[in-house]
Amino acid sequence: MISFKNFLLERIVDPEQLAVRVAKKYGKRTNYGSWLKPKKYENIPLSNYNRVGVNKVENKLFNYQEKLGMHDSSSYGASEQEQKKATARANEASENYKKKFSDKTMKISDLHATQPFIRTDDMEKLKNKISNKTSTDIMVIKHNDKHYIMDGHHTVMAAKFRGEKDVNVKYLDLDAETSEKKKVNEEVNNHYTHLPDEPGTVPIPDGHIRLYHRTSINNMKSITKNGLSINNARGYEGPKAIYADPNGFYGKPGDVGDEKVDVEFSVPKNKFRGTIVHMDEVPPENIIAIHQNWHNTARSIRDDPKTLSRVLSGEHDDLLDGSGGDQYKYSIKHIKHVFGKSNDKI
């Protein structure tokens, strides 16, 4: 959260007055995005907000909730009875999710914001937050060894205005909950020794069409071994099918996040119409490559002598811990491996 320095030393100042003074000193910005436009001097910016980190924890949390069954979309377009059953399952999953949180006392200084500012224009709300010393609405998620406030920013700030250094929170260690998933990611990305050809460059059989299918990185090992199957389709955006696109699904092939991969494959032209592959299975021999986000970065490093030299000299080794994401971690590992600079620490 934001550091107030001398403001927080003035304990004789009423917390509400202090909040107003801090907003007047720091709340000059009025545009944090197309829909984030607070009034000038009626907001407090949160300096440790990091959009990239927040996007990652939100995506990780969504995927985790999805595995618990909280975002089941399989009933879209189904009968009213099926929709009610799906709602009941989602509600049960939500209750199970809440039970995974535990009570914990944490230092405010250890908490990271997931929003860029808090508003101070609603004085009644501000007063209530500051006067309520027993609020239990703070929810904190641990991700990549950082603790993110998922709910309760105003409550945390109110505690800070009261001069408190600790807060009671509802806490979930997402790192521990998804440790198996992290293990899978590491196993998959240990293929950093191999860099496939660029998308669209490997020849395909006559009469075939080249296609791309985007999926979770968790499916990479299975697809490599077994190919694509309609039995594994989720049917989020329509009927269960193998969806694909000749130009890249949801964007340019290979431009994916840490959690996704693009599967490049070919099928007979008469087996593809619209966005659907009309086959129950795409065998593994039809899989051309599985593209990860670090592949394009590795090629860029490899093809630029200056960048290559800097990477091999260790200038960017600080990214090997994953702090910059898998895109840089595994592209650097690949370059060091290929050019003989790999070691046990990598």
> pLDDT tens digits for 155-205?
998 888 888 999 999 999 998 887 655 554 555 555 677 889 999 999 999
Q: Cα torsion for 243, 248, 253, 257, to the nearest 10°?
A: -60
CB 130 within 8 A of CB 158: yes
Q: What is the pLDDT of residues 75-88, one digit of tens each?
A: 666 678 878 888 88
Over residues 298-326, mean pLDDT: 90
In this prediction, residues 283-304 reach a mean pLDDT of 93
Give the per-residue pLDDT at 305. Answer: 93
Most trustworthy range by pLDDT among 25-29, 46-50, 112-116, 238-242: 112-116
Beta bridge partners of 289: 264
Structure tokens at 267: 């099928």
Measured CA distances, 252 to 196, 213, 300, 320, 338 (Å): 16, 11, 16, 26, 26
* pLDDT greater than 80 at residue 340: no
**Residue 134 vs residue 202, higher pLDDT:** 202
Amino acid at 19: A
3 state SS of 117: strand
Beta-sheet strands, E only, within 97-202 = 102-107, 111-112, 117-119, 139-143, 146-151, 166-173
Whole-angstrom Cα distance, residue 230 to residue 235? Answer: 10
Question: Confidence class of residue 326 from pLDDT cuts 50, 70 and 90?
Answer: confident
CB-based contacts of 327, cutoff 8 Å, min separation 6: 258, 293, 294, 297
Q: Domain spans of the chain?
A: 6-177, 191-291, 295-338
Out of 3.40.50.300, 3.90.1530.10, 1.10.540.10, 1.10.443.10, the CATH code matching 6-177 is: 3.90.1530.10
Query: Residue 344: its pLDDT value, please?
Result: 35
Of the two residues 237 and 22, the one the predictor is more confident about is 22
Question: What mean pLDDT is reported for the chain?
Answer: 83
Task: Name the phi and psi angles at 209, rounded to 5.
Answer: -120, 140
Inform me whether the pLDDT recorded for 2 exceeds 50.
no
Confidence (pLDDT) at 236: 56
